[in-house]
Amino acid sequence: MSAIEGAPNGRQANMAVLAQAASSDIATAWAAWPEKPDFHLVRGPETGLVMVRGRAGGGGAPFNLGEATVTRATVRLATGEIGHSYALGRDGEKARLAAIFDALWQRPDDAPAVDALVATLREKTETADDRRREETAATRVNFFTMVRGDD
Amino acid sequence: MTDASAIEGGFADLVLEGQQVFRATMDALANPGTICPLGALAQPPAPLTPELAALALTVLDHDSPVWLDPTLAAAPIVADWLRFHTGAPIVADPAEAMFALAANAATMPPLEKFAMGTDEYPDRSTTLIVATDSLTGGAPLILRGPGIEATATFALSVQITNFHAQWADNRAKFPRGVDVIFVAGGQVAGLPRTTRIGEA
Amino acid sequence: MYVAVKGGEAAIANAHRLLADRRRGDRSVPALRLDQIIEQLGLAVDRCMGEGSLYDKELAALAIIQARGDLIEAIFLVRAYRTTLPRFGYSTPVDTGKMLIERRISATFKDLPGGQLLGPTFDYTHRLLDPTIAENGAVAEGERRDADAEQAPRVTDLLAGEGLIEPDGVAENGEVGDLTRSPLEFPLDRDLRLQALARGDEGFLLGLAYSTQRGYARSHPFVGEIRIGEVDVELDIPELGFAVNLGRIKVTECQMVNQFKGSAKAPPQFTRGYGLVFGQAERKAMSMALCDRALRAREFGEDLAGIAQDEEFVISHLDNVQSTGFVEHLKLPHYVDFQAELGLVRRMRAEYEAKQAEGDEPLQEAAE
């Protein structure tokens, strides 16, 4: 199931928003988080490569396009929840914090606050995307058809 | 969704610990019969041993298919742990494996079931990593060959069935054949395919 | 005869130091920052990512600065860096149909669903150098208009109706070739060719593409569609049981449509070439699409009319790191080889002159 088509606040959708969010926004949210949980790092943060694939013709057989840097982390809260994060780029701190938020979301008491954070981050991305669409739309060619009269 | 024991127990410092284990294993294979301390161990779920896991974390990755012996294959948590920590694809056919992990040497299939490599690419063979009772408590084997000045003594506790005959067959296939790494008690020793096991 | 080469270490250390000095240049001039390269030399960053085959803007920007602007040197740096990172896996194939579009044009249909969206293009600039850019004055933000809610459909889908255009082909998710893992063995399947083309040198592919238009492959191409924008990258994670969205990358996609008269193997139809590259790299994507089509000659039973259709030639020489590796290796000491050659040439010359001396007498008699 595609991440974008999942439920708006499902785990998959939340992870997608965290992956796209700016490092500084996640860091700010963490700094302001009232009750930071105890946790330990199970794996990472580590940077590796994902081979990005395309499709021949756009919709045909897959081919390997080229690699992208990806950083991932897995944390475990003292209360047992396991959080993962995977995101493009080489930002280890963002990976670590995103994994903690993923773990926190699995605690019923903390889930609403994480959902609220995700909603804020999502809105920021969507606003930026809307602006991009509007700037592109301004470059749309409008073909006027001239109707000649019977002169 | 994820059982905690399927993900805990990897190297704390993958780079440094992996380097230590790699160095020890390389030295062991370069000097056949020499016992080398691994230097770093992992804490995997049973029946994976700390030594097998340390080797796995060091040599396995996304591109290296690995075969698990019946003991390891019987416990799904082992495959989960290996997949999480190494990304290695797990294959059922030993002939497709780049590496093989064996927790119980006695139940290993014949060596010839593994990948032997080709004449053009003899390195496309399986490297076996075998946990054994002891690297020093068995009957002494007399080793000769590259990396050994004259002879070396290796008191491996041999648990692989019909090992001497199998090893002679393996030698006969040179340059094709398999190489074997033995681990026990935090230590590693190696038998590359070039080593001859002779009479005392 | 041997020539001893010693004492190079000191020379090399000083050469590196001099390189660093020249790279920095006049110290009273502000040093470049990575964010300046990323923001203001974005298309150089995109080329470095595409041919370096590594999508990471900071790394590409660093490579460009370190290489003093020599892009092939920068690409070399990026390729080398790639080898230090472990592979986590293969993404699910990106869906360019769901792209967040920044530019989208078609030369085959004028007024198409989704519209012609020019985006930040050079196409209409008349190529007049603009000195005002050097004055670093204020630059206005882009104009904004209400955006169309509906996603622009693929032009190739629009053409698919009458069955006159070659379809995408089976979208089977079988084994995909990876030239970063196994050596190439000719003949190649299309997946490996596309991977090689995507990393190939833009200049080399541009020249080949041009040659196909000048008659060296009998093609009549049209740009069915070019789209530039961001696509999601997803990765299946076994321990999670679902695919995670890793974020977005920018890609340029080009669909070339070629008229094809038919052959023993295929009926008359429009056949296609496909280009897909990292970043905004329109010229490269178009060249890739033209070369992709040319290299599919075998599939369509076409006669080989030009070098762009020669798979072994094109694929063996399109990688600029590979090419420069061999070309630049000529700088390495070949002193012993050359001494041997010198001896050989001297001997051959002596024989030649001896023969000339013998031959001169009969010639003189004939002239007399």
DSSP 8-state class, residue C97:
G
ipTM associated with this complex: 0.92
Query: What value does the mean pLDDT of chain C take?
Result: 92
Residue A148's pLDDT band, with cuts at 50, 70 and 90, is: low
3-state secondary structure of A84: strand
> B4 to chain C: nearest residue by CA?
C239
Judged by a CB distance cut-off of 8 A, whether residue B87 touches chain C is yes
Residue C364's pLDDT band, with cuts at 50, 70 and 90, is: low
Do B7 and C89 count as a contact with CB atoms less than 8 A apart?
no
Judged by a CB distance cut-off of 8 A, whether residue A54 touches chain C is yes
What is the greatest pairwise CA distance in chain B?
56
Q: Give the model confidence (pLDDT) of A110-137 as tens digits.
A: 999 999 999 999 999 999 999 999 999 9
Arithmetic mean of pLDDT, B152-167: 94
Query: What value does the mean pLDDT of chain A take?
Result: 91
Q: Give the model confidence (pLDDT) of C304-342 as tens digits.
A: 889 999 999 999 999 999 999 999 999 999 999 999 999
Do C247 and A89 count as a contact with CB atoms less than 8 A apart?
yes
Kindly tell me if the per-residue pLDDT of B145 is higher than 90: yes
User: Measured between alpha carbons, how far is C294 from C309 in angstroms, rounded to an integer?
Assistant: 5
User: Measured between alpha carbons, how far is C361 from C82 in angstroms, rounded to an integer?
Assistant: 68
Do C233 and A52 count as a contact with CB atoms less than 8 A apart?
yes
Point out the residue among A54, A67, A134 whose CB comes nearest to the CB of C93: A54
Residues B52, B75: contact at Cβ < 8 Å?
Answer: no
Kindly tell me if the per-residue pLDDT of B24 is higher than 70: yes
* Bridge partners, residue C231, by sequence: C249
Residue C302's pLDDT band, with cuts at 50, 70 and 90, is: confident
Arithmetic mean of pLDDT, C258-279: 88
Do A55 and C93 count as a contact with CB atoms less than 8 A apart?
yes
User: Measured between alpha carbons, how far is C126 from C103 in angstroms, rounded to an integer?
Assistant: 19
User: How far is the alpha carbon of A125 from chain C, nearest alpha carbon, in Å?
Assistant: 11
Residue among C305, C152, C325, C327 at smallest CA distance from C219 = C305
Point out the residue among B1, B80, B87 whose CB comes nearest to the CB of C89: B87
* DSSP string for C105-161: E-SS-SS-TT--B--S-STTSTT---GGGGGT---PPPP--PPPSSPPPPHHHHHGG
Kindly tell me if the per-residue pLDDT of A1 is higher than 50: no
Q: What is the pLDDT of residue C220?
A: 77
Range 14-53 of A in CB contact (< 8 A) with C: 15-16, 19-20, 46-53
Residue A143's pLDDT band, with cuts at 50, 70 and 90, is: confident
Do C117 and A53 count as a contact with CB atoms less than 8 A apart?
no
Which residues in chain B touch residue C89, judged by CB atoms under 8 angstroms apart?
Answer: 62, 87
Residue among B87, B86, B68, B78 at smallest CA distance from B44 = B78
The beta-strand segments (E) located in chain B are: 36-37, 66-68, 90-91, 99-102, 127-131, 141-144, 152-154, 179-184, 187-191, 196-198
Q: Give the model confidence (pLDDT) of C33-62 as tens digits.
A: 999 999 999 999 999 999 999 999 999 999
Range 48-67 of B in CB contact (< 8 A) with A: none
Contacts 24+ apart (CB under 8 A), C69-73: C69/C44, C71/C44, C71/C47, C72/C201, C72/C320, C72/C321, C72/C324
Q: Of how many residues is chain C composed?
A: 368
Q: What is the pLDDT of residue C240?
A: 86
Do C233 and A88 count as a contact with CB atoms less than 8 A apart?
yes
Judged by a CB distance cut-off of 8 A, whether residue C244 touches chain A is yes
Point out the residue among B1, B6, B7 whose CB comes nearest to the CB of C241: B1
Arithmetic mean of pLDDT, A2-16: 69
Residue B192's pLDDT band, with cuts at 50, 70 and 90, is: very high
CA atoms within 13 A on the CB side of B150: 2
Residue type, C177: G
What is the greatest pairwise CA distance in chain A?
85
Residue B185's pLDDT band, with cuts at 50, 70 and 90, is: very high
Residues C262, C268: contact at Cβ < 8 Å?
Answer: yes
Contacts of A among chains (3+ CB pairs under 8 A): B, C
H or E element that contains B58: helix B50-59
Q: What percent of chain B has pLDDT over 90?
A: 93
Query: What value does the mean pLDDT of chain B take?
Result: 95
Q: What is the pLDDT of residue C263?
A: 81
Return the structure tokens found at C63. 């490579």
Q: Quick one: CA torsion of B85, B87, B91, B96, rounded to 10 degrees?
A: -120
Q: Of how many residues is chain A composed?
A: 151
Q: Strand pairing of A39-55 and B141-144?
A: unpaired
Return the top range by mean pLDDT from A2-16, B148-162, C151-165: B148-162
Judged by a CB distance cut-off of 8 A, whether residue A144 touches chain C is no
Arithmetic mean of pLDDT, B147-162: 94
Q: What percent of chain A has pLDDT over 70?
A: 89
Do B1 and C88 count as a contact with CB atoms less than 8 A apart?
no
Do C244 and A70 count as a contact with CB atoms less than 8 A apart?
no
Arithmetic mean of pLDDT, C210-223: 82
Q: What is the pLDDT of residue A50?
A: 98
User: Measured between alpha carbons, how far is C276 from C292 in angstroms, rounded to an integer?
Assistant: 11
User: Measured between alpha carbons, how far is A80 from A98 in angstroms, rounded to an integer?
Assistant: 17
Q: Count of CB atoms within 10 A of residue C344's CB?
A: 10
Residue C215's pLDDT band, with cuts at 50, 70 and 90, is: confident
Alpha-carbon distances, residue C82 vs A45, A47, A62, C160 (angstroms): 18, 11, 22, 40
* Bridge partners, residue A74, by sequence: A43, A84
Q: What is the pLDDT of residue C8?
A: 87
Q: Give the model confidence (pLDDT) of C273-285 as tens digits.
A: 999 999 999 999 9
Q: What is the pLDDT of residue A2?
A: 40
| Helix locations, chain C, DSSP H | 8-24, 34-40, 42-52, 57-66, 71-82, 155-159, 190-199, 202-211, 282-295, 311-317, 320-329, 335-367
Q: What is the pLDDT of residue C301?
A: 86
Q: Give the model confidence (pLDDT) of A69-98 as tens digits.
A: 999 999 999 999 999 999 999 999 999 999
Lowest mean pLDDT among A120-124, C66-70, C229-233, C267-271: C267-271
Point out the residue among C86, C238, C240 whose CB comes nearest to the CB of B61: C86
Point out the residue among A43, A46, A82 whose CB comes nearest to the CB of B4: A82
Q: Give the model confidence (pLDDT) of C221-247 as tens digits.
A: 999 999 999 999 999 998 888 999 999
* Bridge partners, residue A28, by sequence: none
3-state secondary structure of A138: coil
Arithmetic mean of pLDDT, C90-108: 96
Q: What is the pLDDT of residue C164?
A: 80
Q: What is the pLDDT of residue C140?
A: 95
> B85 to chain A: nearest residue by CA?
A43
* Bridge partners, residue A48, by sequence: A70
Kindly tell me if the per-residue pLDDT of A20 is higher than 90: yes
Judged by a CB distance cut-off of 8 A, whether residue C97 touches chain A is yes
Q: What is the pLDDT of residue A106?
A: 95
Do C239 and B83 count as a contact with CB atoms less than 8 A apart?
yes
Residues C106, C155: contact at Cβ < 8 Å?
Answer: yes
Arithmetic mean of pLDDT, A7-26: 90
Return the structure tokens found at C336. 């012993």
CA C264 to chain CA mean position, Å: 33
Q: What is the pLDDT of residue A146?
A: 67
Q: Give the model confidence (pLDDT) of C133-169 as tens digits.
A: 999 899 999 999 999 777 899 888 887 777 888 888 7
Kindly tell me if the per-residue pLDDT of C218 is higher than 70: no
C-alpha torsion sign, points C289, C295, C297, C300: negative
Helices A92-105, A11-20: inter-axial angle, 10-degree rounding = 160
Q: Strand pairing of B141-144 and B66-68?
A: unpaired
Q: When comparing pLDDT for C239 and B176, which is higher?
A: B176
Phi-psi region at B41: left, alpha or beta (left = phi > 0; alpha = psi -120 to 50): beta
